Structure 1
Amino acid sequence: MKKNLIPLTLGGLGIGTTEFVMMGLLPDIAKDFNVSIPVAGHLISAYALGVVIGAPLLVAISSNYPPKKILIALMVMFTVFNAFSAFAPDDHALFIARLLSGLPHGAFFGVGSVVASRLAEKGKQAQAISVMFAGLTIANLLSVPLGTYIGHHYSWRYTFGLIAFIGLMALLFIQLWLPALPVSREGDIKSEMGFFKTREAWLILLTTAIGTGGLFCWISYIAPLMTDVGHFSKNSVPLILIVAGLGMVIGNILGGKLADWVAPVKACLILLISMAVALIGIYFVSGNQVLSIIMTFITGALSMAIGSPIQILMIRTAKGAEMLGAAATQAAFNTGNALGAFLGGLPIAMGYGFTSPELVGVVMAITGALFAMMLAKRQSVVKRELELV
């Protein structure tokens, strides 16, 4: 790993921790503020809303500044708002803090993706981006279980203190190790926004939002799936999540390599079809503990493998608007988060059981693959037209 990519990994670690640890802390926060679990669940939605709002907005207003200064400003926001979360006096204040702490999420990964690709060796851009996303996977493997343990046994406020500390470390290493790259912006915000008038932009965003929703159909309801269908004990759930996190670590590495070996759009297509197959596998083997653990690892790997291919696909497609495009994909990922959790929950509410979200996930993953196929066809047509000119 290049030393100058480590600050991006640390930033990803902090962001991944604050995004995913909330699922484990909900019972503790609900009890502390004397609200129901569904009401406390609004804190998850608040963060996702912050990501969707902040991703394009913050990149758009900061693109005239050098990437290093942008990343420092974003990490300052991240640290301050997570520290405020630790001192929130009630659930309303925490809702606002979660909304604000979500603002820098997409912008950090958008700017960070462009920085990583510019620092990478030729032909290894996607692998460099995967180094940044490694922070997300390490969070799911280590800091999310640790933060959940701290919240259960001590206080959820200490968990947000830990997240703020990670933010401070990321700030320090961005200042020390990240090169001061020059501004690469060629146009203005109006010309950059013009990219979103193209068919390619929306095909990438639809591939991301719909296709990755298949992952969230699965992982949003993994706890009741494992306990009610797989007959694991509730105490086993954190260990099962670690298995999924280990899969994400390995999948992130393989996804970066795959996107450098083949065209990124082909990598996305391969991974989305593989995700659909894995979800079908989960649907049929969840009653078998050994096979369900194996499928948890495989599906976790596939879920993170698509991150780097999607980002490098957007960066190469959004010429002149790379940072804005990369940030928009993060907003699309969080849209997939919300869609997957919502649509996956519908058949459960109808009484079809905890394996039913996997079938919804299959449909979403295949739909995402169809959008990727449309994009691949569109890119081949454009390439032929350019060759004829």
Structure 2
Amino acid sequence: MPFSLYLLALAVFSMGTSEFMLAGLLPAIASDVDVTVGTAGVLTSAFAIGMIVGAPLVATVARDWPRRSSLLGFILAFSAAHAVGALTTSFPVLFATRVVAALANAGFLAVALTTAVTLVSPDKKGRALAVLLSGTTTAMIAGVPGGSVLGTLLDWRATFWAVAASCLPAALGILKGIPTGRVRDEATGGPALRAELAQLTRPRLILVMLLGALVNAATFASFTFLAPVVTETAGLDELWISVVLVLFGAGSFVGVTVAGRLSDQHPGVVLAVGGPPLLIGWPTLAMLANEPVALFILVFVQGALSFALGSTLITRVLYEAAGAPTMAGSYATAALNVGAAAGPLIAATTLGTAVGNLGPLWASGLLVAVALLIAFPLRTVVAAARSAEVLQ
């Protein structure tokens, strides 16, 4: 894999830390800005909504911009938004900074995804995506738990400052390691924007985007509200939140790595082998969450399965959107973040019910069940051979 991919992954690490870090900070943020934990959870949805809107919008505008300048501008804007967030005492302002950061993240990721697949041969999109997403999974292993510890020892604002600072080395790497040139200059055939947008009318593309969104919604529904499960249901100290986040992140790294080797040529295997255990795992976790050992094991397993299926489905989006080479990254980003926005909102509605803190886990199981019910009768379409997309 080209070294430039790893530089992009470094930037994704900083952004992934920010996207996921609220899972360990929500109670502290809620207390500091005087809102409920459920309301604070909307910050995760705000970020995701910004990503949904921003991905296609910014990708449309940036398709004729220099790649290096675009990526650099996006990550610097992302850093600035976190600096403002660290300073504010207002929940509405904090909400706004999450939206701004999400727009910058969306633009960066859309351009990065498009750039990544042009750096490898057409049959290695899954592996390129796995390298890029390793920044996210590494963030979950190191950045998010580290942020949680920092937030516990100092406060949540220190975590925001740390994210802002971590963007600067990534920005330098982009400046030094990403070549100039426009994304569209390297897009096969250079189709017009209207032709690229027309790809969204393809049923196969819509299907894999929907499935990717559902699986990601299930992931975020539970991940966003893991902190109260650890401290209240399992009865562990706040520092154990970081341990649980590390385990989820380690599982996600394993899942993305394995799926990256299989998703190009054997997506059906990943979906068939990983889907049923993922479905069973969420309610099992809900029933055993009061047992710390079971909690630790199941969090790791669910992280691995969630990201294996999620990354495989997003790889399918890139294949199915082969006719939209400059916009495919934004379609994948939008699919991911429709789920990231919907998941916490759905999960938040369960917190006031009889199941309490375990509600998000049950909600995740329901979302995976819906995904599998849709995917099963259409499994031959979802797991279509890669050769057809490569030749489009």
Q: Paired residue for 1:64?
A: 64
Bigger drift between 177-186 and 133-142 goes to: 177-186
Structure 1 residues 37, 377: closer, same or farther in 2, change over 3 A? closer
8 Å Cα contact 1:265-1:372 kept in structure 2: no
Q: Paired residue for 1:369?
A: 372
Instruction: Work out whether 1:320 is the aligned partner of 2:336.
Output: no
Q: Cα offset for 1:44? A: 2.7
Q: Paired residue for 2:193?
A: 189
Q: Cα offset for 1:148? A: 2.6
Q: Paired residue for 1:151?
A: 151
8 Å Cα contact 1:9-1:132 kept in structure 2: yes
Q: Paired residue for 1:207?
A: 211
Q: Paired residue for 2:228?
A: 224
Q: Paired residue for 1:242?
A: 246
In 1, Cα distance between equivalents of 2:216 and 2:87: 34
Amino acid at match of 1:153: L
In 2, Cα distance between equivalents of 1:10 and 1:3: 11
Q: Paired residue for 1:91?
A: 91
Bigger drift between 165-174 and 275-284 goes to: 275-284
Instruction: Work out whether 1:119 is the aligned partner of 2:122.
Output: no
Q: Please, what TM-score do these two structures have when normalized by structure 2?
A: 0.86
In 2, Cα distance between equivalents of 1:344 and 1:292: 19
8 Å Cα contact 1:243-1:293 kept in structure 2: yes
Q: Cα offset for 1:38? A: 4.4
Q: Paired residue for 1:3?
A: 3
Q: Cα offset for 1:132? A: 1.2
- 1:204-258 per-residue CA deviation (whole Å, 9 max, x = no partner) reads 2210122222223332332333444444344422212211111122222112112
Amino acid at match of 1:197: T
Listed as ranges, the gaps of 5+ residues in structure 2 are none
In 2, Cα distance between equivalents of 1:3 and 1:12: 14
In 1, Cα distance between equivalents of 2:217 and 2:306: 10
Structure 1 residues 194, 20: closer, same or farther in 2, change over 3 A? same
Q: Paired residue for 1:278?
A: 281
Amino acid at match of 2:117: S
8 Å Cα contact 1:211-1:366 kept in structure 2: no
Q: Cα offset for 1:336? A: 1.6
Instruction: Work out whether 1:43 is the aligned partner of 2:43.
Output: yes
Instruction: Work out whether 1:338 is the aligned partner of 2:335.
Output: no
Percent identity between the two aligned chains: 26
- 1:66-85 per-residue CA deviation (whole Å, 9 max, x = no partner) reads 43333223223222222332
* 1:159-178 matches, cutoff 5 A: 159-178=159-178
In 2, Cα distance between equivalents of 1:27 and 1:111: 34
Q: Cα offset for 1:125? A: 2.6
Bigger drift between 203-212 and 64-73 goes to: 64-73
In 1, Cα distance between equivalents of 2:110 and 2:20: 19
Amino acid at match of 1:96: A
- 1:259-284 per-residue CA deviation (whole Å, 9 max, x = no partner) reads 1341x355345433331132243244
Structure 1 residues 268, 107: closer, same or farther in 2, change over 3 A? farther
Amino acid at match of 1:93: V
- 1:114-157 per-residue CA deviation (whole Å, 9 max, x = no partner) reads 32222235643312211111111111111222223333333433
Structure 1 residues 235, 167: closer, same or farther in 2, change over 3 A? closer
Structure 1 residues 268, 235: closer, same or farther in 2, change over 3 A? same
Bigger drift between 42-51 and 340-349 goes to: 340-349
In 2, Cα distance between equivalents of 1:227 and 1:76: 35
Q: Please, what TM-score do these two structures have when normalized by structure 1?
A: 0.87
In 2, Cα distance between equivalents of 1:38 and 1:218: 13
8 Å Cα contact 2:152-2:238 kept in structure 1: no
8 Å Cα contact 2:56-2:330 kept in structure 1: yes
Partner-residue secondary structure (3-state), 2:339: helix
Amino acid at match of 1:196: L
Structure 1 residues 281, 120: closer, same or farther in 2, change over 3 A? farther
In 2, Cα distance between equivalents of 1:137 and 1:206: 22
Bigger drift between 63-72 and 4-13 goes to: 63-72
Bigger drift between 221-230 and 235-244 goes to: 221-230
Q: Paired residue for 2:352?
A: 349
In 2, Cα distance between equivalents of 1:237 and 1:142: 13
Partner-residue secondary structure (3-state), 2:374: helix
Q: Paired residue for 2:25?
A: 25
Q: Paired residue for 2:270?
A: 267
In 2, Cα distance between equivalents of 1:115 and 1:76: 19
Q: Cα offset for 1:57? A: 0.5
Q: Paired residue for 2:259?
A: 255
In 1, Cα distance between equivalents of 2:128 and 2:212: 20
Structure 1 residues 354, 44: closer, same or farther in 2, change over 3 A? closer
Amino acid at match of 1:281: T
Structure 1 residues 324, 273: closer, same or farther in 2, change over 3 A? farther
In 2, Cα distance between equivalents of 1:289 and 1:158: 29
